[in-house]
């Protein structure tokens, strides 16, 4: 039986391969493009902070900001603000995460990636919350 990860796919169109080939002059932008394509949801969008991208890609936040600006200027993505985070929306003519006929929809149910640095106590708080639920359920 295949595992859940192997069921995921990313369709890369010729324009997507051209986009990657065109990013050889900006390794940071290429690395960011691949990260976003790998982690975005079925709506081609991913919500996260610059801090998380810097942490995951092991780059300085300013480098991430420049890479985002470069990808936007080249038409590879659109950035929408969501509080202190951004929603990165990849060009559906380059990469696509789900069935072809869903391209006409623009719903933004996106997965959120959270930075360890900004959420240092999150694991403890979630564990505590789940532990409390379990205790209540056992009573």
Contacts of residue 33, Cβ cutoff 8 Å, sequence gap at least 6: 19, 20, 23, 71, 76, 77, 90
Asked if residues 89 and 78 have their Cβ atoms less than 8 Å apart, the reply is yes
Q: Name the residue range of residue 35's domain.
A: 4-138
Q: How far is CA 5 from the centre of its chain?
A: 16
Average pLDDT, integer, range 43-53? 90
CA–CA separation, 62 and 57 (whole Å) = 12
pTM of the entire predicted model? 0.72
Predicted confidence (pLDDT) per residue in 100-128, tens digit: 555 555 555 556 666 777 667 767 766 65
pLDDT value at position 116?
72
CA–CA separation, 91 and 33 (whole Å) = 11
CA–CA separation, 59 and 88 (whole Å) = 18
CA–CA separation, 67 and 101 (whole Å) = 30
> Which of 14-23, 51-60, 91-100 has the weakest average pLDDT?
91-100
Predicted confidence (pLDDT) per residue in 15-44, tens digit: 999 999 999 999 999 999 999 999 988 888
The number of distinct structural domains making up the chain is 1
CA–CA separation, 55 and 117 (whole Å) = 8
CATH number at residue 90: 1.10.10.10
CA–CA separation, 132 and 73 (whole Å) = 48
């Amino acid at each position: 039986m295949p595992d859940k990860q192997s069921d995921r796919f990313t369709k890369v169109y010729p324009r997507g391969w051209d986009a990657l080939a065109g990013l050889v002059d900006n390794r940071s932008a290429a690395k960011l493009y691949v990260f976003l394509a790998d982690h975005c949801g079925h709506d081609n969008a991913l919500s996260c902070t610059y801090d998380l991208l810097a942490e995951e890609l092991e780059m300085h936040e300013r480098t991430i900001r420049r890479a985002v600006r470069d990808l936007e200027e080249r038409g590879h993505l659109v950035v929408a603000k969501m509080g202190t985070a951004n929603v990165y929306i990849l060009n559906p003519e380059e990469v696509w995460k789900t069935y072809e006929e869903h391209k006409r929809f623009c719903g933004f149910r996106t997965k959120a990636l959270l930075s360890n640095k900004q959420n240092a106590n999150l694991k403890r708080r979630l564990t505590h919350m789940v532990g409390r639920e379990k205790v209540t359920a056992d009573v």
